[in-house]
A and B are shown apart, each in its own frame.
Chain A
Amino acid sequence: MVTIIDRTLTSFDTAGMSARDLNHFCDLLFSCGVTKIELTPDLLARLGFPSSAASLRKWLGDRSFFLTRIFPISLDSSGMTKPQPLWKLEPNDLVEKNIPVSKLKSALSPHQKIRITGLEDLMNRDYPTIFKALLGSGAQTLDLCPSNHHHCAAAIALEWLLAGGTSISCAFANHHNLAPLEEVLMSLKLHQPDAFSGDLSVLSELCGLYEKCSGQPVAKMKAIIGADIFKVESGIHVDGVLKNPHTYEPFNPQTVGNQREIVLGKHSGRKSLLYKLNDPGLSEPTVHSILKQIKSRCTQLGRNLSDLELQTLASEVQNDKKIYC
């Protein structure tokens, strides 16, 4: 089974993050398929380990640690009640190495627990051979934590797992320029479904919590979690999506807690307009006039029209055909 480590909270300004938000953030990470959450010792007290927090802190020292989940065996023979998973702490004893590809092989020692960082330029190299050498190094644990400086980290992560790698480190929404967790999870779901069992429908909620706690907005067109990625405007795509959504969607929007939306803009056609207005009685000249106005206004505004704006515009055109036709 693949180990997916999330490192978002290690480089997060968590000072203002409430214990409730922190615990909820961790809950959502586990729900979407993360195996281990890497945390810094200062977060320990806010994670609900009250009685032993002081001794745990001493045990961990300055090391970061991993939060994992264990599932207690149910004592209820009827199987009606499932026990809640418990959180468990593990020290992070991965030795981090950031070394050039040319020196990778000589830098790895057998029986070590190693995390390799960097490697942003792997897509320009013979990465299958590099992965083969890494996997044959004899390391006890080999975690890859590719940097996203070349915008290829999710691809490197996926290729690593497809090649036989068993541990990958990421961070949510490209945080700290690491492989975007949500991209790695969805890629795994699509390309290696047997190795994935998370529920990605929580990503939308996770995204909202991330924005709230980090103060950083997630780009509207960010892969997997962007708010606008399932908005469809162009006539050609609307036509396809209305016939069968699968034509122009890589996965069902609900899979990631999002929903499809037909929006009107410069590239809309009559099918989109009729769909939005749901008024089969509209004459062709009226449809043409409304579309013309929509295109003009959207080009001027640089955005789509809201449903209210559309209704107002359609009424204006219908009430004053002399002006618009």
Chain B
Amino acid sequence: MIKKYIVDTTLRDGEQSPGIAFTVREKVTIAKSLDALGVTRIEAGTPAIGKEECRAFEKIKLACQNAQIIGWNRMNRSDISQSIACGADIIHVCVPASDLLIREKLRQSRSQVLETLSTCAAAIHTANRELTIGLEDASRADWDFVIQLIETARDLGATTLRFSDTVGIMSPSLCKATISQIPANIDIEVHMHNDLGMAVANSIQGLRSGAKYADSTLFGIGERAGNCNLEHLLIATQGQLDFGISLDELQWRQADLKSIIYKNELLYA
């Protein structure tokens, strides 16, 4: 079987699902369970949110034995400083890649994006932390700019490049064609949303086309229709891909965590 790795984002993208909210203690409980399960990287949250989030990070860092802990950041020096301060192993910088996000959300230009990214990377290296870069809305971005961002990420010393289908519109064949075209000199991570019900299929195609990591969440929670559901991904790839995670163990651990994740039964319906 081909060896692949899971980046769990239940505590970051998953928690952004409307109505889902964890206390510090609940975050630590979930992280410990993911760590015991064999998840390679845990995206534990966004330290820039505030003190509680930073406290959760520090406790998660102490509680986890093996998993690397990722701090998620906007492309912003202040956010990054907080991630560094609360001890994240990996500092992830999210870079809007589509012209739509650059123009409408950031109100910047492509060159400003590249410039800010370089400044952020320098701060992370100064703090001796691992840098990973995520291309937000990459599936709607201009391909030439995506390539430019990938080359920049590599030159800036990023170890992993996250390709995000932020609004979940890709088809498996498009995903396969796109990921196959990314140069092999950087580790690739695929981050698929489930708006068309294709997050699992797209993650599989991404992994089969060269991605090393797939992002997922428990119960598939996340913005709108959610992220790639870890349990479903394991079911769909049994005997084909080896994530080092037992499906049986995931199922009983997930059942144990259900009352924390869905405090309100109506959300689970």
Q: Which A residues have a C-beta under 8 Å from some C-beta of B?
A: 121, 123-124, 128, 149-152, 154-156, 158-159, 162, 180, 183, 186-187, 190-191, 217-224, 226, 228-234, 236-237, 239-240, 243-244, 246-250, 263, 265-267, 295, 298-299, 301-304
Complex alpha-carbon distance, A244 and B198, angstroms: 25
In the complex, the answer to whether B263 meets A221 with C-beta atoms within 8 Å is no
Are A233 and B105 interface neighbours, CB within 8 A? no
For B49, list chain A residues within 8 Å (CB).
267
A121 vs B172: C-alpha distance when bound (angstroms)? 14
Q: CA–CA, A214 to B256, complex, Å? A: 29
Residue picked from A123, A128, A221, A230, most chain B C-beta under 10 Å: A221
A162/B201 in contact, CB under 8 A: no
Residues of A within 8 A of B173 (CB): 128, 159, 162
Q: Which of B104, B169, B171, B264 is close to A244, meaning CB atoms less than 8 Å apart? A: B104
Bound-state CA distance A219–B223 (Å) is 14
Instruction: Give chain A residues whose Cβ lies under 8 Å from the Cβ of B16.
Output: 233-234, 237, 267
Q: How far is the CB of A233 from chain B (nearest CB, A)?
A: 4
B87 within 8 A of A: no
**Which chain B residues lie closer than 8 Å to A304 at the CB level?**
18-19
A224 to B226: give the CA distance in the assembly, Å: 11
State in angstroms the CA–CA spacing of A301 and B266 once bound together: 12
Least Cβ–Cβ distance between A301 and chain B, in angstroms: 7
Cβ–Cβ < 8 Å partners of A121 in chain B: 236
* Contacting residues, chain A, for B223 (C-beta < 8 A): 232, 234, 237, 248
| B168 contacts A by Cβ under 8 Å | yes
Task: Provide the residues of chain A in CB contact with B135, threshold 8 Å.
Answer: none
Interface residues of B toward A: which range?
35 or more
CB distance B236 to A152 under 8 Å? yes
Residues in chain A near residue B269, CB distance under 8 A: 217-220
With A219-B269, A304-B18 as known contacts, state yes or no: A249 contacts B237, CB within 8 Å: no
Task: Check if A302 sits within 8 Å of B105, measured CB to CB.
Answer: no
Pick 22 A–B contacts, CB within 8 A, sort by A: A123-B205, A124-B240, A151-B232, A152-B198, A152-B201, A155-B171, A155-B172, A155-B201, A158-B196, A191-B171, A224-B195, A224-B197, A239-B105, A240-B104, A247-B100, A247-B101, A263-B19, A298-B19, A302-B264, A303-B264, A303-B266, A303-B267
Is B166 in contact with chain A by the CB < 8 A criterion?
Answer: yes
CB pair B104 A265 closer than 8 Å: no
Contact A187 B17 (CB under 8 A): no
Cα A222 to Cα B194 in complex, Å, equals: 9
Instruction: Flag if B18 contacts A265 (CB, 8 Å).
Output: yes
Which of B23, B167, B196 has most chain A Cβ within 10 Å?
A: B196
Contact of B236 among A123, A187, A237, A295 (CB under 8 A): A123
Q: Quick one: closest A residue to B228, CB to CB?
A: A151
Given contacts A180-B197, A190-B196, A229-B225, are A266 and B15 in contact (CB under 8 A)?
A: yes
Q: A299 near B104 (CB under 8 angstroms)?
A: no
Question: B158 on the interface (CB 8 Å rule)?
Answer: no
A231 to B166, CA, bound (A): 16
Residues of A within 8 A of B20 (CB): 302
- Most chain-B Cβ atoms within 10 A of its Cβ — which of A123, A226, A234? A123
Out of B22, B166, B201, B266, name the residue touching A248 (CB < 8 Å): B166
Which residues in A have their C-beta under 8 angstroms from that of B221? 221
CB distance from B72 to the nearest CB of A (A): 10
Give the Cβ gap from A289 to chain B, nearest Cβ, in Å.
14
B202 within 8 A of A: yes
**Quick one: which of B23, B200, B226 contacts A221, CB cutoff 8 A?**
B226
Contact, CB under 8 Å: B172 / A233: no
Q: Does A183 lie within 8 Å of B105, measured CB to CB? A: no
Cross-interface CB contact of B196 among A124, A187, A230, A234, cutoff 8 Å: A187
Q: Does B224 contact A (CB under 8 A)?
A: yes
Q: Which of A152, A162, A183, A219 contacts B204 (CB under 8 A)?
A: A152
Q: Which residue of A lies closest to B219 (CB)?
A: A221
B21 contacts the other chain (CB 8 A): yes
Cα separation A299 to B260 with both chains bound (whole Å): 11
Contact in complex: A124, B236 (CB < 8 Å): yes
Least Cβ–Cβ distance between B160 and chain A, in angstroms:
21
B9 at the interface (CB under 8 A from A): no
Partner of B200, one of A152, A226, A231, A266: A152
Complex interface residues of chain B between 216 and 236 (CB less than 8 A to chain A): 220-221, 223-226, 229, 232, 235-236
B201 partner residues in chain A, CB cutoff 8 A: 123, 151-152, 154-156
Known: A124-B236, A248-B167, A303-B266. A154 touches B198 (CB 8 A): yes
Cα of A123 to Cα of B173 in the assembled complex, Å: 10
Given the interface contacts A250-B195, A299-B23, does A151 sit within 8 Å of B237 by beta carbon? Answer: no
> Among A154, A191, A217, A301, which residue has its beta carbon within 8 angstroms of that of B264?
A301
A-B pairs with the 8 shortest C-beta distances? A302-B263, A155-B201, A266-B21, A183-B197, A223-B225, A150-B236, A151-B232, A244-B104
